[in-house]
Structure 1
Amino acid sequence: MEEELKCPICKKFYTNPVLLNCGHSICLACAVGLQSPAIQSDFEQQDFDKLSLNSETDSGIICSSRPNSYIGTPNSASLLALQSTVVLQCPVCKRLIWLDASQGAAALTRNRALARIVEKQRKDDMQYCQICGEEATDICEQCEVFYCKTCKQACHPNSGPLSNHNFIAANEGSTVLKLKQDGNCKEHSQVLSTYCMDCKILVCSVCCQRHIDHESVPIGNASKAQKNRLSLRLQQLSEKAKTASEFCQRLKSAENEIETNAYQLQANLVEQFDRLMRSITTKRDKLVEQIAKEREVKLQQLRDRATDCKRQLQKTNGFIQFSIELLKESDSVAFLQTASPMMCRAAEAERFFLKKFDRETVATEFDIAVDLHPVTEVVENIKFTPLQPPKSPKIVRNRCSVQGNSVTVAWLAQADNFVLELDDGSGENFHKVYSGKDRVCTVDGLLYGTVYKARVAAFNSAGGSPYSPCVSFQTEQSSFNFNRQSVHVDDEDLFRI
């Protein structure tokens, strides 16, 4: 909340804060220091605000019923015609505020509510009794005099015409004296009693004549309505702040999960690479470094999100505390001067949470993995050069099959090449039907309804193995039936041949 009570220019607690019509506040002295004569480049900017040159009661709101006020966006020629115009740029939103050079920043509305909150929060200078010079304890609102406890009793006895005077604490007295006269219309010195709903400004009974066609309500009703709206908005904002707090906790938990998963991934990676030969150690170290970098990227993203979340949460909490203090404001005039800007700021903060925290957090899982299967196969297949021929292969019956006139044969053996042979159906005269490195082969084009025997031999650089034991396969019966009665004579003679 302390940041809400400091001027964005001098970075100190507000002193005589004035309210810009963009909704932000600055110290009066800072505003005077910021104002400068208007130049051509200022006129060419399209996004600026116009303050009435006639009265402070406009509070920077353009009203078509006010004479001599800017209406709409003035062109360069009309503005250059105003020889006594100064411009002030808001240090927060960079919007331009146009002022009459005769009054300048002094024409800006005093932010009374903000001044009271600042006075309440900071340590004030000690006030002294204006009668005896001792430390003052109270100030009389009617007499506007600081009293110590003794002089207060002497000058304001419990009976008599002065007994009905109101007293407030001395530490709030200086603010009351400065702001007491701000409750009246600067133009007509009348009490500000009405709030114009169309122009969003406070007006006195005389100013009401200029707003006769506008919707106006008593300031008490307007203040109550605005307080209700702001309270509802703050309640919604508090829920968002609660969600943000839980979001920060999830970010913290995610950080621990990332650490755990990263170290587990590194441990598994090291364990896998320890099985490999020394020649791939360099590759292992590079992959470990890559994971470490990925972890740092994720952690940095996580920290950035957490820092952003905490910073916004801190600002939001400060804004909420400030708004709560503002809701305690009993002066309707002072409250209404800041109610609309506060509503806008609350909505902006809520939009921030919707934008920032509806998004998914940083993924705790790593989208990388090490596939050692090809390398493992290479390692497992590393072997010495054989000094003797391989053993006889073994045909695996449960992996063999027959379909129509085709036979599939599968076998197991440790060798470089294999030869599959089938007989001619008589159990003799084997013929080679396959030669290669595969351990499964399908032979097509065999005779239907015939029994074949198969055998396999294995070969390496040292020689060949004995043939495997023969395995018999019978092809399926053909679905084609030959009928001699339907054969033509010429065809039958051909058949006999």
Structure 2
Amino acid sequence: MEGELKCPMCLQFYCNPLLLPCSHSICAVCASKCQEPSQTFLSQLEGGVCSATPGEGDLKDFPDIDKISILSETDSGVVCNSRPSSYIGTPSIANIYQSVQFSQNPYGIKCPVCKKIILLDENGYKSLPCNKVLESIVEKFSHGKQHKPLTLYVNCQMCDHNEAKEAVVMCEQCNVFYCQSCKESCHPDRGPLAQHNLLDPIQGRALQRARNKGRELCCLEHEEEQLNMFCITCSMPVCCTCQHEGGHSQHDVQAIGAMCKTQKVGNSEDNEHLELSQILQSLSEKAKVGTEFIQSLKSMTDKVHGNCTDFEATVAAQCDALIEAIKKRKQELLVHVAEERDLKISMLKEQASQCTALLQRTTGLLHFSIEVLKESDPASFLQVSSSLISRVSTADQNFNKDMELTPRIATEFDLTLDSGPALHAIQTMNFFQLKGTAAVLSKFSNLLWRWRSDLAHYETPGKPSIVPEDCSAENNSVTIAWQPHMGKVVESYSLELDDGCGGDFRVVYVGSETICTVDGLHFNSTYFARVKATNNSGDSDYSDPISLQTAEVAWFSLDPFSAHPDILFSNDNQTATCNSYEHRILLGGVGFSKGVHYWEVVIDRYDSHSDPAIGIARFDVDKCQMLGKDEKGWSMYIDDKRSWFMHNNDHSERTEGGIKRGSVVGLLLDLDRHRLSYFVDGFPHGPIAFKNLHGVFFPALSINRNIQVSLRTGLEPPLESDSEEEN
């Protein structure tokens, strides 16, 4: 998805992305650099006019949105007022109103992707709308992937427009960015201004985004009206005044929320229009097929090596029979075989590489589209939905053709060695490929293969054997690899695992693969695994079992995928904070249902007497409230003086003693005795917090913007004191 989030001009992550009429986006700084006077593009536009007479031909290469806009504006008698007047979307529209537009639109930008020319009014690139969906996704992606903060260049708002310098501070109270000289002259550090809070430009930009978050977008023509309707004819958000009095009064206008829902999840009554979710599901299935096909190509490479080895052995045996006279020729034949092998491997690797590149682009588009679907602002979503649906539809239609789901070359070597002639023919001896007799030999080979397969199907497969050197255990997961008994047909394998306590075996995998990874096992447990093979004649005997030991203590990190979007992660997901004043819940990456486990939470930052809640939760706990408010969370919330235990909004066991910056809160989860207790700075804190805990529990905590915490895992459980045992 990373390629979708980079500007085509600077090739860096988007910073203040602006949405062009052609549906592409560009950074605000890049837009300012490529903006030129509209007269620069006059020759290009005139050339287009001279090449064809005005008519339908002028519109065929441009988006439907522009064609509809021309018709709707002409029919309604409104010229360039039924859509934002700040830009014109295509060269053909500019030719229609050429003399008027060059006087009203002094600036222009050429899209770096599609090379279309966009004419702008006197505000220039600043009149282009902000792509809020893309900006939100870039911000989340930069935090989730641990990228360095994106560099934001902010101009001083007090300088002249054409000579604006880079801002160095932003006043939180004035909401103005200042360069160094303007700060000294317009905002001196004395008098009432000395009490103002000055931020660096990056923090100021983040503050502005936080303030603007959730605000409704307003109509460009009626600035006091909110965009709450959507014109289907013009494919753009409008206000109620535009619907009743403006250029959209004769158009098909629907509620913006209903239109957003229709394009996201579709309308069961309307089968003519494909929505984004359906197309993504189809494309996702094809991407899965592509992934499996690439794996088969990689496995075919191994088969080429195996077939080559067998063929080399055959050639060597025939050549050795000709003793001294054939030795020189033998080397030449082996070289030829190696060249054939290299050619097959090269072609298979090239096809696998091309398919992998296509799959990466498809996966990136899938991830980007899923992030767009998460956008909660209908107007922002509808800005990009039409073009995104078109992109996904095109990718979906062309996937099978571009993927070429057929290997370009076979793994078999269609060569045979002619060793019948006498010694005088040795100098002319060479490989010959199957041509005229290929059909007969191929048919004979197929019949022979079927005959052998039929015989093999009447025999049960041999006992598979587990390969210990390919088996491993990591954290609470185990990987088991095995190989079949040679010479017998196997249709599938069944892998069985016990319960880690010497109990009965249970089936964990059935399929044709010879390696399997099993996740979600108990820590500090020894598991036994065995496998059997199956075909039409029956099952083989079980393989000899193998034992694998899971980790004694749990190593895990915080889970960014299940956390609330307001949570910000760093330090390889070991550290977290929040950008909201409200409590938001985040979970650990593993769940516990058995054994004794201990982990610690370090208070890295503590402001404003906040009260973080630390404990455990079910996976589906409500993440928009304080931990312990519902029946799926158990927590201790603690401030700088005291603490309480809380479950299902029931507060109990007030305990004196609080936390500060640098404090360490330990949690001892004993699922053998089904209880949870707490430690603060290495000492037991209060009585046993919760008892009768049964099921699967995830480490959890809830924080707000006044708290930053770090996680410590892989720790040995502390010894409980006698007083704790009595409690």
2:257 maps to 220
Q: How far did residue 315 of structure 1 move?
A: 2.8
1:265 maps to 311
| Among candidates 182, 187, 210, match of residue 221 of structure 2 | 187
Matches within 5 A, 1:270-349: 270-349=316-395
State the AA in 2 paired with 1:175: R
**CA distance in 1 between partners of 2:67 and 2:14 (Å):** 21
State the AA in 2 paired with 1:335: F
- 1:65 paired with 2:76, answer no
1:118 maps to 138
Q: How far did residue 253 of structure 1 move?
A: 0.8
State the AA in 2 paired with 1:73: S
1:244 maps to 290
Q: How far did residue 207 of structure 1 move?
A: 2.6
State the AA in 1 paired with 2:44: S
**CA distance in 2 between partners of 1:303 and 1:122 (Å):** 33
2:2 maps to 2
Structure with bigger helix share is: 1
Change (3 A) 1:243 1:129: farther
1:91 maps to 112
State the AA in 2 paired with 1:183: L
Change (3 A) 1:17 1:283: same
| Among candidates 228, 240, 251, match of residue 205 of structure 1 | 240
User: Is the CA contact (8 Å cut-off) linking 1:115 and 1:175 kept in structure 2?
Assistant: no
Secondary structure at the aligned position of 2:415 is classed as coil
User: Is the CA contact (8 Å cut-off) linking 1:5 and 1:114 kept in structure 2?
Assistant: yes
Q: How far did residue 49 of structure 1 move?
A: 5.1
TM-score, length-scaled by structure 2: 0.41
State the AA in 1 paired with 2:9: I
User: Is the CA contact (8 Å cut-off) linking 1:223 and 1:332 kept in structure 2?
Assistant: yes
1:54 maps to none
Q: How far did residue 111 of structure 1 move?
A: 0.7
1:120-146 deviation line (CA, Å, top 9, x unaligned): 332469999958xxxxxxxxxxxxxxx
Q: How far did residue 109 of structure 1 move?
A: 2.1
Secondary structure at the aligned position of 2:23 is classed as coil
**CA distance in 2 between partners of 1:178 and 1:61 (Å):** 32
1:165 maps to none
1:256 maps to 302
Q: How far did residue 193 of structure 1 move?
A: 1.5
Q: More relative contact order in 1 or in 2 (CA 8 Å, sep 6+)? A: 1
Change (3 A) 1:202 1:85: same
Secondary structure at the aligned position of 1:110 is classed as coil
Change (3 A) 1:294 1:377: closer
**CA distance in 2 between partners of 1:50 and 1:9 (Å):** 22
Change (3 A) 1:305 1:35: farther
**CA distance in 2 between partners of 1:198 and 1:289 (Å):** 68
**CA distance in 1 between partners of 2:409 and 2:63 (Å):** 49
1:409 maps to none
Q: How far did residue 327 of structure 1 move?
A: 1.6
**CA distance in 1 between partners of 2:16 and 2:122 (Å):** 20
Q: How far did residue 333 of structure 1 move?
A: 0.6
Matches within 5 A, 1:30-179: 30-36=30-36, 37-44=40-47, 62-66=69-73, 67-69=78-80, 73=92, 79=98, 82=102, 84=105, 86-92=107-113, 94-123=114-143, 130=172, 173-177=207-211
Secondary structure at the aligned position of 1:99 is classed as strand
User: Is the CA contact (8 Å cut-off) linking 1:237 and 1:349 kept in structure 2?
Assistant: yes
Q: How far did residue 73 of structure 1 move?
A: 2.9
State the AA in 2 paired with 1:14: Y
Change (3 A) 1:281 1:85: farther
Q: How far did residue 87 of structure 1 move?
A: 4.2
2:601 maps to none
Change (3 A) 1:238 1:311: same
User: Is the CA contact (8 Å cut-off) linking 1:28 and 1:105 kept in structure 2?
Assistant: yes
Secondary structure at the aligned position of 1:253 is classed as helix
**Which region of structure 1 is more displaced relative to structure 2, 192-201 or 268-277?**
268-277
**CA distance in 1 between partners of 2:364 and 2:383 (Å):** 20
User: Is the CA contact (8 Å cut-off) linking 1:5 and 1:118 kept in structure 2?
Assistant: yes
Secondary structure at the aligned position of 1:122 is classed as helix
1:393-441 deviation line (CA, Å, top 9, x unaligned): xxxxxxxxxxxxxxxxxxxxxxxxxxxxxxxxxxxxxxxxxxxxxxxxx
Secondary structure at the aligned position of 1:376 is classed as coil
Secondary structure at the aligned position of 2:406 is classed as coil
**Which region of structure 1 is more displaced relative to structure 2, 303-312 or 40-49?**
40-49
Structure with bigger strand share is: 2
TM-score, length-scaled by structure 1: 0.59
1:408 maps to none
2:402 maps to 356
1:29 maps to 29
Q: How far did residue 43 of structure 1 move?
A: 4.4
Change (3 A) 1:105 1:360: same
Change (3 A) 1:178 1:17: farther
Identity among equivalent pairs (%): 32
Task: Provide the aligned length of Structure 1 versus Structure 2.
Answer: 336
User: Is the CA contact (8 Å cut-off) linking 1:117 and 1:325 kept in structure 2?
Assistant: yes
Q: How far did residue 42 of structure 1 move?
A: 4.9
**CA distance in 2 between partners of 1:80 and 1:284 (Å):** 81
Q: How far did residue 17 of structure 1 move?
A: 0.7
Structure 2: 5+ residue stretches without partners: 49-57, 81-87, 144-148, 153-168, 174-202, 266-274, 427-727
Secondary structure at the aligned position of 1:304 is classed as helix
1:307-363 deviation line (CA, Å, top 9, x unaligned): 222223233323222222222211111111111121112112223422133531233
**CA distance in 2 between partners of 1:79 and 1:204 (Å):** 29
Change (3 A) 1:361 1:296: same
State the AA in 1 paired with 2:409: A
Larger Rg: 1
Q: How far did residue 287 of structure 1 move?
A: 3.3
2:420 maps to 376
1:177-197 deviation line (CA, Å, top 9, x unaligned): 467777112222121121111
CA RMSD of aligned residues (A): 3.7
User: Is the CA contact (8 Å cut-off) linking 2:137 and 2:372 kept in structure 1?
Assistant: yes
**CA distance in 2 between partners of 1:381 and 1:232 (Å):** 67
Secondary structure at the aligned position of 1:183 is classed as coil
**CA distance in 1 between partners of 2:116 and 2:22 (Å):** 9
Q: How far did residue 365 of structure 1 move?
A: 2.8
1:387 maps to none
Change (3 A) 1:182 1:341: farther
Q: How far did residue 40 of structure 1 move?
A: 1.5
**CA distance in 1 between partners of 2:112 and 2:121 (Å):** 20
Q: How far did residue 211 of structure 1 move?
A: 2.1
1:242-301 deviation line (CA, Å, top 9, x unaligned): 111111111111111111112222222222222225444444333333332232222222
State the AA in 2 paired with 1:102: E
**CA distance in 2 between partners of 1:245 and 1:305 (Å):** 13
1:15 maps to 15
State the AA in 1 paired with 2:69: I
State the AA in 2 paired with 1:105: Y
Change (3 A) 1:376 1:65: closer
State the AA in 2 paired with 1:205: C
**CA distance in 2 between partners of 1:97 and 1:381 (Å):** 73
1:393 maps to none
User: Is the CA contact (8 Å cut-off) linking 1:257 and 1:364 kept in structure 2?
Assistant: no
State the AA in 1 paired with 2:19: L
Secondary structure at the aligned position of 1:206 is classed as helix
State the AA in 1 paired with 2:140: K
